Amino acid sequence: MQWQITEMPLRLLLLLLLLATSVELLSQTIQRDVRYPSSWWTPVSEVGKPDWEILPQEAGPGEVILSKRNELGLLSNFAATPFVFHGKKYASLEGFWQMMLYPEGPKDPRVKSGIQWKYSREEVMQMTAFEAKSAGTLAEENMKRLGITWATFEGKRFAYRSTIPGEHYRLILEATREKVKQNADVRRVLLQTGDLILKPDHHGETNAPPEWRYYEILMQIRRDLTKNSKQGTP
Indicate if the pLDDT at residue 78 is higher than 50: yes
Burial class for 214, CB neighbours closer than 10 Å (0-12, 13-18, 19+): buried
Mean per-residue pLDDT for 66-73? Answer: 97
Mean per-residue pLDDT for 123-133? Answer: 98
Percent of the chain whose predicted confidence (pLDDT) is above 90: 79
Percent of the chain whose predicted confidence (pLDDT) is above 70: 85
| Predicted local distance difference test score (pLDDT) of residue 20 | 54
pLDDT band at residue 2 using 50, 70 and 90 as cut-offs: very low
Indicate if the pLDDT at residue 5 is higher than 80: no
Indicate if the pLDDT at residue 219 is higher than 60: yes
Kindly report the average pLDDT of the chain as a whole number: 90
Cβ neighbour number for residue 126 with a 10 Å cutoff: 16
pLDDT, tens only, 58-67: 999 999 999 9
Indicate if the pLDDT at residue 210 is higher than 70: yes
Residue 111 identity: V
Long-range CB contacts (< 8 A, 24+ apart) of 32-37? 33/62, 33/196, 35/194, 36/64, 36/192, 36/193, 36/194, 36/196, 37/192
Mean per-residue pLDDT for 30-58? Answer: 94
Mean per-residue pLDDT for 59-85? Answer: 97
| Predicted local distance difference test score (pLDDT) of residue 205 | 87
What are the structural domains, with CATH classification, of the chain?
A: 75-231 (1.10.357.40)
| Predicted local distance difference test score (pLDDT) of residue 176 | 98
